[in-house]
Amino acid sequence: LFASYLGLFGVAGLFAAAGVFASVLAKNQISAFITGFFICFAFFMTGKMSVLLPPEAARLTDFIGIDCHISQFARGIVDSRSLFYFLGAGGLFLFFANLKLMAARTR
């Protein structure tokens, strides 16, 4: 149960960071919502597309998608790769949002 909650917390953090990044890029709330939705939808669908690709590309898209990581947490396995995935991807979105804000501030 703890692992499942930890996985959901990771997904929520990743999606929140993607939403913050989309909010920094957009000029109004509606376009920020649409951009954030499509970023989160892309992460969701990337794991589902792996069955349509060759095995080499399928492994990469499976790792980028959320399904692979959240399924391990749902089984009760707390894998460090999945933790680093959620922390790294969320941190990357926040880093890019910070870069965009710093660039806008210096102008």
- Is the overall model pTM greater than 0.85, yes or no? yes
What digits encode the pLDDT tens for the residues 17-47? 999 999 999 999 999 999 999 999 999 999 8
> What DSSP string runs through the chain?
-HHHHHHHHHHHHHHHHHHHHHHHH-SSHHHHHHHHHHHHHHHHHHHHGGGGS-HHHHHHHHHHSSHHHHHHHHTT---HHHHHHHHHHHHHHHHHHHHHHHHHHH-
Q: What is the pLDDT of residues 49-76, one digit of tens each?
A: 888 889 888 889 988 989 889 988 999 9
